[in-house]
Amino acid sequence: MKRKLYLVLAAITLVAFVAGCGNNNSNNNSNTNQGGSGGEEGAMLEVLRAGVKSDVPNFGIYDPETDTYSGLEIDLAHMLAKELTGDETKVEFTAVTAQTRTPLLDNEDLDVIIATFTITEERKLVHNFSTAYYEDAVGLLVKKDAGIESLEDCDGKIIGVAMSATSEDAIQAAADELGVNVTFEAFSTYPEIKAALDSGRVDIFSVDKSILRGYMDDTTAILDDAFSPQQYGVATKLANKEVADKIEELITQWLNDGTLQELIDKHQI
């Protein structure tokens, strides 16, 4: 009796799982179809569902008091919404982290990710990336009293990085060249790295320089060192070529006519 119950349960799980996968595929098709018919009416999307950062000052930061997001990437999302939906207010923001952004795109809960998402060759295999709208080098934030002047002084130090490992690779390569031995601890969010720096858990907070600037205070300083430039692109689901092409066209246009530079100047980054 019991054994039968187990079998039934296992079967239900399996069927639900397979059905789930199947649904995903059919969603795919229907979505692209909708996209197609929508395109004829002039609007590609009804609303732009954008995954953004909620904890990166100047790029994407959430203010709980006013319940709004602000930053360069938020402005960019509004601009894209204007072109894709016909109305710049038709944006739904969702805060994402290194672990959630890819599944949210794949499951079509989001249309685009504009969240300091660094373009890499490997990531290009799994997402569409637009041309970079911003380029920045990886930097090092240290406590002023730590006596660290550059990466050369970092032998035996612990570097706090974000879960997505692009900055880790960049620094590891530079450290190897200098013959400096460093270890890395990765965290899901930037405030967690800052907390670890404040408590002395890590000696160095290392992400992209423009992000670091948002976390600088009286006790910390950004070193002059800069490592392999990181390029941020707008990511879309790989199958979603139509939207990706439109976004690519728009970003290139805004790069050329100076719109993006104005945006960067506006946010002082």
Partner 1 sequence: MDMGPFAAWRWQRLFNDSNIFILGLKNTLLISFLALLLALVIGFILGLASTSSNKALKGVTRAYVEFFQNTPLAVQVFFFYNALPALGIKFSVRAIGVLGVGLYHGAYVSEVVRAGINSIPVGQLEAAKSQGFQTLQALVVVIIPQAIKIMLPPLTNQAVNLIKNTSVLSTIAGGELMYLTNKWVSSGTLNYGPGFVVAGVIYFLLCFPLAYLARKYEENLKAKTTR
d(CA 138, CA 155): 18
Applying CB under 8 A, which of residues 11, 15, 19, 126 lies at the interface with partner 1? 126
**Which residues fall within 8 angstroms of residue 60, CB to CB, at 6 or more apart?**
52, 53, 54, 69, 70, 71, 72, 73, 74, 114, 115, 116
Report in angstroms the alpha-carbon separations of 55 from 4, 115, 146, 152: 50, 10, 26, 30
Applying CB under 8 A, which of residues 62, 93, 187, 232 lies at the interface with partner 1? 187
Q: Is 21 in the site for partner 1 (CB under 8 A)?
A: yes
Applying CB under 8 A, which of residues 87, 88, 108, 198 lies at the interface with partner 1? 198
Applying CB under 8 A, which of residues 201, 226, 242, 259 lies at the interface with partner 1? 201
Neighbours of 34 (CB within 10 A): 13
Q: Which of the residues 135 through 164 are near partner 1 (CB under 8 A)?
A: 160, 163-164
Q: Is 195 in the site for partner 1 (CB under 8 A)?
A: yes
CB of 238 to partner 1, least distance (A): 5
Contact 140/204 with Cβ under 8 angstroms?
Answer: yes
**Which CB sits closer to partner 1, 201 or 213?**
201
Which among 262, 171, 185, 176 is positioned nearest to 223, based on CA atoms?
Answer: 171
Count of positions (residues) in the chain: 269
Q: Is 95 in the site for partner 1 (CB under 8 A)?
A: no
Applying CB under 8 A, which of residues 26, 199, 256, 268 lies at the interface with partner 1? 199
Applying CB under 8 A, which of residues 65, 122, 177, 218 lies at the interface with partner 1? 122
Q: Is 165 in the site for partner 1 (CB under 8 A)?
A: yes
Counting residues that bind partner 1 (by CB under 8 A) gives: 30
Applying CB under 8 A, which of residues 83, 88, 106, 242 lies at the interface with partner 1? 106
The strand pairing partners of 158, in sequence order, are 183
Classified as helix, coil or strand, 134 is strand
Q: Which helix (H) or strand (E) holds 36?
A: helix 2-40
CB of 200 to partner 1, least distance (A): 5
CB of 202 to partner 1, least distance (A): 9
Report in angstroms the alpha-carbon separations of 244 from 21, 44, 261: 24, 11, 22
Contacts with partner 1, residue ranges (CB under 8 A): 21, 24, 98-99, 102-103, 106, 122-123, 125-127, 160, 163-166, 185-188, 192, 195-196, 198-201, 238-239
